[in-house]
Structure 1
Amino acid sequence: MPSLNDSTRGRLLFGGDYNPEQWPQEIWSEDVALMKAAGVNSVTLGVFSWSKLEPRPGARDFGWLDRLMDLMETTGIGVVLATPTASPPPWMGARHPETLPRDEDGRTVWWGSRQQFCPSSPVYRTYAAALTEDLALRYGGHPALRMWHINNEYCTHCWCDETGRHFRRWLRARHGSLDALNESWGTAFWSQRYDSWEEIIPPRRAQYMRNPGQVLDFRRFTSDALLECYTAERDIVRRHTPHTPVTSNFMPLWSGQDAWRWAEEEDVVSVDIYPDPRDEHGGQYNAMIGDMTRSQAGGPWVLMEQAAGPVNWRGVNHPKPRGLNRLWSLQSVAHGADAICYFQWRQSRQGAEKFHSGMLNHAGEQGRIFQEIKRIGADLALLGPYVAGGRVRDEVAVLHDWDSWWADQQDGRLSSCLDYAEIVRAWHRALWESNLPTGFARPGHDLSAYRMVVVPHLY
């Protein structure tokens, strides 16, 4: 299996998402010159470029990406090439409304944002596979390619009829028989016994509390359905580039994906971390996500996204005080990260995230943010030969289990005052403040290497 070390070659990767299709081409050469000045050695291309690459069904526009891949190669900047399947073009929803997700009330989630796809849709999967195939064919042998980035922040949910059919197939494989399912879900309660598979639907809005076994299995199924989308694209690029590592970025401590299962399918485990700079425990949160991701990876990991300054999606978006970006970046390295990356390189001038900072923000190269980025790039270049590929030895393990988390979120529990994620975070904070090297494990892991195991809240 290819690893992150195969791509880094003893360096720490430094860079971020680069979305040059938002800018005229005369900006590209300026971008590359500033990247080199900042010590950038890696960029992620194509994350949200589906409508640019496939402007209409079956059409392909690769010329602009050809020029970018060649430009990166000539300047010595490696490319993490993304499949753009997180954001289908408007033409897909307009021509194939069955690809659009539906919420628990049966309402359609329309295009106009991102992640507007049903993970179970055969039509969506067919288009996604076709574009992934063509990207792998065209760029699999390109010398700038360092890693594949599949989709982005898998987080969509769907309760449509196609999802229902997929859910029933998943339930057959899990339970084997209706009798076993009825026993597992306790359907004798409230007269919920199922007499045929076709009677089972996703847990949509109901009159009162829904069956907890059904809801829990649907959470498991949704994580697995998204994982199927990932592995389908991963297998395509692996077939063309078996020695190039593949990743997909997790959202930090997000309940929708069983990250333990997902990590087993990734060559490189990566995550996006956005601590609130006004949070007095922001450093501990940053450390916790690093510890959790390192544990899922079993070694070095990638910080795929962070903010160089303010984000745009909090109620009030505070800038990072001077030096905090550097502190949290180096902290991630200390917790095992072999790549420090950002969303994004150049701050957008339009769109929903135009107020989200970039490595190069609107103040330009003389601005404080870019000057700090240059210093971080220099730090990482010095540290790389000494720490890249290193291992962190944990003395304590915190048990963290997605099944317990999902079950704890349901209605009808003992106390709605308990928050699973906050309990896990509080235990990690106590260990972090005690300077105890801490990792995470799930029930069933070999725990013999740890001096102490903390079990915060198993269901």
Structure 2
Amino acid sequence: MTMKFPAISGKLPVFMHGADYNPEQWLHDPAILQEDIRLMKLANCNVMSVGIFSWGKLEPEEGVFTWDWLDQVLDLLVKNGIYVWLATPSGARPAWMSEKYPEVLRVEKNRQRNLHGMRHNHCLTSPVYREKVRMMNSKLAERYSFHPAVLGWHVSNEYGGECHCEYCQDAFRSWLKQKYGTLEALNQAWWTTFWSHTFTSWSQVESPAPHGEMMVHGHNLDWRRFVSDQTIDFFRHEIQPLKAVNPDLPCTANMMDLFYGLDYREFAKAVDVVSWDAYPTWHSESSETGVASWFAFNHDLFRSLKKKPFMLMESTPSQTNWQRTSKLKRPGMHRLSSLQAVAHGSDTVQYFQWRKSRGSSEKFHGAVVDHVGHEHTRVFQDVASLGRTLGELTEVLGTTVPAEAAILFDWDNRWAVLDAQGPRNGGIHYEETVVQHYRALWQLGVPTDIIGAFDSLNRYKLLIAPMVYLLREETGRKLTEYVKQGGTLLVTYWSGVVDEHDLCHLTGCPGPLREVTGIWAEEIDSLHDHDHNGLIFQQENPLGLKGSYTVHELCERIHCEGAEILAAYSSDFYAGDPVLTVNRFGEGKAYYLAARVKEDEFYEMLYARIVSETGVLKCLDSTLPKGVSVEMRTDGTHDYLFVLNFSGQEALVDLDDRAYSDLESGQVVQHRLQLPVHGSTVLKRKTLVNV
């Protein structure tokens, strides 16, 4: 069975390797363009993103368009075998527009309109801005949609932020009317009888404001949903003229590392291919495990949004200029971090930026070409070497990640958790909790999808639901049926607390999951940072696990209603009460973890046993050294294993008895693989996968 997607573009059926390119910054020196072409070839680059912030050069004054420079760039690139993601320039508007049409500038929460400047400082609802964007994109599409260099559209850049102007207030009210129909329904959903906040007219409803309303949680949640929907609507507005001219060109919008402000699961439905920008803070600790697992989670999230290969649109070939400490990448790290993206499903490795800017805020951000302007730098050679490696990996292109485990992660749950004013307002650590569970699977070499409440569960043998505070009744029924049909579910504390309106379930926590978990969570205790409790495994528990572990931050007091106790609290007034349980339900099992355990070793041990019990696919049938990950892509005939050393030291990896070869060299690899510090190897084997 083939498990392979077609290349993102038929024009370039290999791994895309390139960068954001800003030739408009160098038009005063024509020799730079010729030199860039020479260097791109030396760096084994085959694609560039062009025009991302070019509005001022494309339309220097209203209604006056200049295309000659862009014509020249595109013609020269494709003549030399280099293709282009052509950008729409809406991420930053020209000064003449802000001066003539101040309504395009954003209004902040305090209702103060911004001055011209920065990026994404524009109202996505403004009729003027929408019309200007439509006109620009129409002209770009008419001129370049069939240009041989153009692979697709890079639409705007890193969408984000919100506006509180009157256009947006009216749009918010219209959005609410469509959702609720009547004020009575809105008042009920927002529970506005609290503090006598009942609305008697739609005109009374405004966006949350620091000098107004910020304490109605349903209101806050719906505003975040509206901002996300309005941004997606603007994206759709942007691509309409592009698709009208050539519907076959794919459109993407580069997303960001676990970005809070937009529901990327919904946004992904509007793009043709998912792309995102990854900037890990490498070398902050002796081991890279924490950073590596965080970004592995992100890669798996973005791959899971459309269940197919994605694009690494931006990364840095060296250091950034905006992190608290901008470290240089150590030898081997550029290859290692780039192959990590490929291992999790990226079919591109692209950078910000190609050539360092000479001035302004990103003049010290890493680039393929430094200010010195030649190829004789360590960074350039790292990039060229990776380009050669990607050229050896073409058969991996389009392959899939065969995950049989999944983690539930939704934006509206995230928004609700962090707005809850609940047990721990000084750091509830929702995202860190999710990634802590993920990290255990990552360390075990278990391919994992990051899914949403509305995704199908059929393919998964194991589903983890950490802190699903916001849980719809229908989601509860879906998870219950999943277990009933033979799935294994693990749910944690602070789950099933509220519904989709952020209204508390009145049936006892974990709400719609109470029956399937076989427990009732009576109350939750919040621990100070210096406090801790303990988890002690019961003698003769079904998992056969032993020992005691530290519990911190959050502890639920739960009662078994059919579930079996696996571990209990060690101290405080609830010592001896259950903290880890299992409930056999139908053909499956539901585990419930009532507290946050501090040690990663606990999660690795627990999931190792559950993975073994459920038969969840592992990349390699061996125990991996700490900090070494093994990721897998497959085409249904061959598996491609990416063995990546994030441990900060040399590592030996024991292989199983199957036949392996090094994909780059073709050499046979047997028994044991030795990896240097920051080492990485891609292995090939015949597949046993059947998913």
TM-score over 0.5 (shorter chain): yes
The 1-side partners of 2:324 and 2:385 are apart by 30
The equivalent position to 1:333 in structure 2, one of 335, 339, 342, is 342
Which position in structure 2 is the counterpart of 1:57?
A: 62
2:9 is paired with a residue whose SS is helix
TM-score by length of 2: 0.65
Verify: 1:437 aligned to 2:447, yes or no.
yes
The 1-side partners of 2:312 and 2:347 are apart by 8
2:322 is paired with a residue whose SS is coil
Verify: 1:446 aligned to 2:456, yes or no.
yes
The equivalent position to 2:116 in structure 1, one of 111, 127, 140, is 111
Deviation at 1:8, TM superposition (A): 5.8
> What whole-Å deviation, never above 9, does each CA across 1:277-312 have from its counterpart, x for those lacking one?
124322222211111111012111000000111101
Verify: 1:343 aligned to 2:346, yes or no.
no
Deviation at 1:349, TM superposition (A): 1.2
Which position in structure 1 is the counterpart of 2:72?
A: 67
The question of whether the paired residues in 1 share the 8 Å contact of 2:84 and 2:149 is answered with yes
Verify: 1:305 aligned to 2:308, yes or no.
no
Deviation at 1:411, TM superposition (A): 5.4
Q: Following superposition of structure 1 onto structure 2, how do residues 246-257 of structure 1 map, counting pairs within 5 Å?
A: 246-257=251-262
Give unmatched runs, 5+ long, in structure 1.
none
1:225 is paired with a residue whose SS is helix
Deviation at 1:259, TM superposition (A): 0.7
TM-score by length of 1: 0.97
Q: Following superposition of structure 1 onto structure 2, how do residues 233-244 of structure 1 map, counting pairs within 5 Å?
A: 233-244=238-249
Q: Following superposition of structure 1 onto structure 2, how do residues 153-232 of structure 1 map, counting pairs within 5 Å?
A: 153-206=158-211, 209-232=214-237
The 2-side partners of 1:444 and 1:411 are apart by 23
The equivalent position to 1:410 in structure 2, one of 415, 419, 434, is 419
Aligned pair in 2 of structure 1 residues 84, 446: CA closer, same or farther (>3 Å)? same
The equivalent position to 1:457 in structure 2, one of 463, 467, 473, is 467
Which position in structure 2 is the counterpart of 1:15?
A: 18
Q: Which amino acid aligns with 1:41?
A: N
Verify: 1:245 aligned to 2:250, yes or no.
yes
Which position in structure 2 is the counterpart of 1:6?
A: 9
Q: Which amino acid aligns with 1:52?
A: K
Q: Following superposition of structure 1 onto structure 2, how do residues 116-127 of structure 1 map, counting pairs within 5 Å?
A: 116-127=121-132
The 2-side partners of 1:159 and 1:243 are apart by 36
Q: Which amino acid aligns with 1:259?
A: Y
Verify: 1:262 aligned to 2:279, yes or no.
no
Q: Which amino acid aligns with 2:451?
A: A
Deviation at 1:358, TM superposition (A): 0.4
Which position in structure 1 is the counterpart of 2:294?
A: 285
Deviation at 1:17, TM superposition (A): 0.4
Deviation at 1:206, TM superposition (A): 3.5
1:218 is paired with a residue whose SS is helix
Deviation at 1:9, TM superposition (A): 4.6
Q: Which amino acid aligns with 1:321?
A: R
The 1-side partners of 2:193 and 2:7 are apart by 50
The equivalent position to 1:390 in structure 2, one of 388, 393, 399, is 399
Alpha-carbon RMSD across the aligned residues, in angstroms, is 1.5
2:316 is paired with a residue whose SS is coil
The equivalent position to 1:79 in structure 2, one of 68, 80, 84, is 84
Deviation at 1:444, TM superposition (A): 2.2
Which position in structure 1 is the counterpart of 2:543?
A: none
The 2-side partners of 1:208 and 1:335 are apart by 42
303-312 vs 50-59, greater mean Cα deviation: 50-59
2:17 is paired with a residue whose SS is strand
Deviation at 1:194, TM superposition (A): 0.9
> What whole-Å deviation, never above 9, does each CA across 1:145-201 have from its counterpart, x for those lacking one?
101111110012111222101111111111111111111111111111111111111
Verify: 1:370 aligned to 2:380, yes or no.
yes
Greater helix fraction, Structure 1 or Structure 2? 1
The equivalent position to 1:48 in structure 2, one of 40, 46, 53, is 53
> What whole-Å deviation, never above 9, does each CA across 1:216-274 have from its counterpart, x for those lacking one?
00000000111111111112111111111110011110011111111111110000000
The 2-side partners of 1:38 and 1:9 are apart by 17
The 2-side partners of 1:316 and 1:154 are apart by 25
Verify: 1:423 aligned to 2:415, yes or no.
no
The 2-side partners of 1:370 and 1:294 are apart by 28
Give unmatched runs, 5+ long, in structure 2.
470-691
Identity %: 38
Verify: 1:147 aligned to 2:152, yes or no.
yes
Verify: 1:315 aligned to 2:324, yes or no.
yes
Consecutive aligned runs of 4 or more in structure 1 exceeding 6 Å deviation: none
Aligned pair in 2 of structure 1 residues 142, 10: CA closer, same or farther (>3 Å)? closer
Greater strand fraction, Structure 1 or Structure 2? 2
Q: Which amino acid aligns with 1:357?
A: G
Q: Specify the structure having the higher radius of gyration (Cα).
A: 2
The 2-side partners of 1:203 and 1:343 are apart by 35
- Which of 1 and 2 has higher RCO (CA within 8 Å, sep 6+)? 1
> What whole-Å deviation, never above 9, does each CA across 1:2-42 have from its counterpart, x for those lacking one?
97533465300000100011112210011011101111111
The 2-side partners of 1:80 and 1:339 are apart by 12
